[in-house]
Amino acid sequence: MSKVLDLTKELISRKSLTPDDAGCQNIVAERLKNIGFSIEHLRYGDVDNLWATFGDSGPIFTFLGHTDVVPPGPIEDWESDPFIATDKDLLLVGRGAADMKGSVAAFVTSIEDFLEEKPTLSGRIGVLLTSDEEGPAVDGVNKVVEHLEKKDEKITWCLVGEPTSDNRVGDVIKIGRRGSISAKIKVIGTQGHVAYPDKANNPIHSFSSPLSELSKLNWKDETGRFQDSVLQISNLNSGTGASNVIPGNLVLDLNVRHSPSTSAEQIKLDVESILNNYDLEYEINWIIGGKPFLTTGKELIAAVTNSIKDVVGTEPVCTTDGGTSDGRFIAPTGAQVVELGPRNDSIHKVNESVRKKDLEELHKIYKKILCSLLSRI
């Protein structure tokens, strides 16, 4: 068994259900400390974070990942214990195998092999881990970034180990992500008897036209890198459960995943403009889940692309689709951010798995990226 597979198995064995790290970061910290890294354990609320650095000066290349995992779901639906890494032919099965303990293991082993060759460094290496990526992401990477900003410590290049690959490792990388903005709208009516509608105000009826308009909202992407932004209704609730009662209110949840072409403020303005065109009494609460970002700097994208080509022989497709990632907290600091990890076909599913070969190749790719950006020839 190889180093990267051994470490992946060790991490999977820790039942790190978000936000519990379950000792994963201590395992990583000990490995990194043994090769000369400075270690900072940063705990905020119930969340464990790790910031580890190697080197004295120069630009910082950082591996960014998370040690928390989502719940496994019904244990009886798994073919094996989700928290005991199980070899199954070409696969390693276990919760977090692909998302993203395999990538975290590859971070560590690639750094170990890179530094074992005693390169002359032109910069520093950082490793940033959190146990709050799968949860609300309140006390994780965003808090670490605030900590680093206070110390005037700037990440130059950030490689996020999220599972980006489609059919084989390295065929897809993310060079940006859409932002996320959500709203909860409460439309206030007057409850009453269905036989006396004149003595009530049905919020379902009064909201039907605004709802139709909201569902048609879209914002065009001007960058050429993102899908157009559309508004999606995710929840709509009203009524008492009785068929003879007009409800007193309606509650709706909406979300927009938006490109850098459209600001959160513009989305707020357009949504509230529709609501204000109608005779509605309503309350609205906005939540910004993350800002969009697009990496346009060439160094990191080139290093990742060339390293993938050297290891697997193909050039990756650069995309910006999918949900959000912790890269959204790093990009606003001015860092170049690229995401590269194993295949994502089993993430969050029962019997989550990763190809053993993919982890071996990921280890090699990560090492080549380090060589490309930090080895002084």
Beta strands in 176-281 (DSSP E): 176-177, 179-188, 192-193, 218-219, 229-238, 245-246, 249-258
248 touches 189 (CB < 8 A):
yes
Q: 100 is written with which tokens?
A: 């993203």
Residue 74, judged by CB atoms within 10 A of its CB (0-12, 13-18, 19+), counts as exposed
Q: Is 6 among the catalytic positions?
A: no
Report strand pairing: 60-66 vs 157-160: parallel
Report strand pairing: 60-66 vs 317-319: unpaired
Question: Among 48, 99, 133, 162, which one carries the catalytic annotation?
Answer: 133
Q: How many CB atoms lie within 10 A of CB 270?
A: 17
Cα dihedral across residues 87, 88, 93, 99: positive or negative: positive
Alpha helices, DSSP H only, in 277-355?
A: 298-312, 327-330
Q: How many CB atoms lie within 10 A of CB 30?
A: 10
Q: 235 is written with which tokens?
A: 């929840």
Q: How many CB atoms lie within 10 A of CB 166?
A: 15
How far is it, in rounded angstroms, from Cα 155 to Cα 300? 12
Question: Among 20, 68, 221, 339, which one carries the catalytic annotation?
Answer: 68
Secondary structure (3-state) at 359: helix
Beta strands in the chain (DSSP E): 38-44, 47-54, 60-66, 86-88, 91-93, 124-130, 157-160, 172-174, 176-177, 179-188, 192-193, 218-219, 229-238, 245-246, 249-258, 282-290, 293-294, 317-319, 336-339, 353-355
How far is it, in rounded angstroms, from Cα 174 to Cα 162? 9
Secondary structure (3-state) at 201: strand
Q: Is 133 among the catalytic positions?
A: yes
Q: Longest C-alpha distance within the chain, in Å?
A: 84
Active site residues: 68, 133
